[in-house]
A = this chain, B = another copy of it.
Amino acid sequence: MDAQKIVNGVKVDALFGTIDAVKKAPVIAKFKFRANNKWINCGHNRTTIKNFYGTQQDHPHETHFELDADEPPILLGEDKGPNPVEYLLTALAACVTTSIVYHAAAKGITIKSMESRLEGDIDLQGFLGLREDVRRGYEQIRMTFKIDADVSDEELEELMRLGPTFSPVYDSITQGVPVTVTLDKTSSRAAAA
């Protein structure tokens, strides 16, 4: 009996167990992630994350996560939380990092430390509707890693590439995702009157 194999904190046997289970029954890999948002005032609003669907059932999180967003004073808010485009960088940073960690673990590569810094460019003429030729969103995002890992100098870059290769958020942001936005008329004021 081998001791449980753990690399980068990842239970590698459980990871390969998951991969085998998905190969046998791909339907268990279909996940639905969820969030609820409530506007509070001006640029301040709160997202609550309670549960998700996967392996053919709903899963509650152990605690409900509450995430406040706001704008800084220069953008007319009160700085009660990161702003939405800073949350987007957070999603990207966390996902590329986790993707490197899990895929390195699957390859048996130990990571000693990893940090990244991100910067993205937005021209607010887009959001303000002042110019149609300036996009509303990020024009570009730059992400730079510092990694100390148990690989040769030559392999360090290859290790890092596991992130953009497998990260769901990197894929979502670079390739784009269809988003439908609809009004629940039966629950909005029109129906409540």
Contacts and interface: CB of A to CB of B under 8 A. Distances in A.
**Size bracket of the A interface:** 35 or more
A70 to B, nearest CB: 9
B101 A42 contact: yes
Given A9-B42, A135-B171, A167-B136, A37 B122 contact: no
A152 to B, nearest CB: 8
Contact of A182 (B136, B137, B143): B143
Interface of A: 8-11, 14-15, 18-19, 22-23, 26, 29-39, 41-45, 47, 49, 52, 54-55, 59, 61-63, 65, 67, 69, 71-72, 74-76, 79, 81-99, 101-103, 111-130, 135-149, 153, 156-157, 160-161, 163-164, 166-185, 187-190, 192
Contacts of A188: 145-148, 156
A153 B127 CA distance: 26
Nearest to A28: B124
A23 to B, nearest CB: 7
